[in-house]
Structure 1
């Protein structure tokens, strides 16, 4: 079993998950792992589908749901979502808000 290390920011909102939808396989590991309910699975939007690379289009054909960020200001930068994603589709980036 994978050891999950958490180093959450007490304030939150400084960093947020950025999801590479071409890499996201829709396995949903990140959604229940997030202690702040920042992520949810949604059917990929037509706009996002246009931006997928070939690998992403192929994955989406089989699994049309992808992880999306619901409220980036809730993110406490614990990095658990990054650690549990088997596709390495998530990274933390500075929140522009």
Structure 2
């Protein structure tokens, strides 16, 4: 297993994870990787299901749980969730103030 490199920012609220639900396979690797409990797994909402591309619809048919953000202000931009996601479904984006 590859060693994870954390670049945690002492201040939270500058960056947040953005999850591509069409790419998310619900493998849950991101949940325990996050030291700040920013992410959770839950069943995809009907609204989000409508936005999926064909690949996402197929993945969701077999595994309807997806990663969701609990509170973006808790994110310390360590990038651990990005590193562990086998689907490359997570990236960090700057929060617009």
TM-score scaled to structure 2, two decimals? 0.98
Match of 1:57 in 2: 57
Counterpart-to-counterpart distance in 1, 2:2 and 2:49: 31
Mark the runs of 5 or more structure 2 residues left unpaired by the alignment. Answer: none
Q: Note the alpha carbon deviations across 1:57-87, whole angstroms, 9 max, x for none.
A: 0000000000000000000000000000000
TM-score scaled to structure 1, two decimals? 0.98
Mark the runs of 5 or more structure 1 residues left unpaired by the alignment. Answer: none
Match of 2:36 in 1: 36
Counterpart-to-counterpart distance in 1, 2:9 and 2:58: 36
Q: Which runs of 4+ in 1 moved over 4 A?
A: none
Counterpart-to-counterpart distance in 2, 1:96 and 1:28: 27
Match of 2:66 in 1: 66
How far is the alpha carbon of 1:96 from its aligned partner?
A: 2.3
- Matched residues, number: 97
Determine if the alignment matches structure 1 residue 23 to structure 2 residue 23: yes
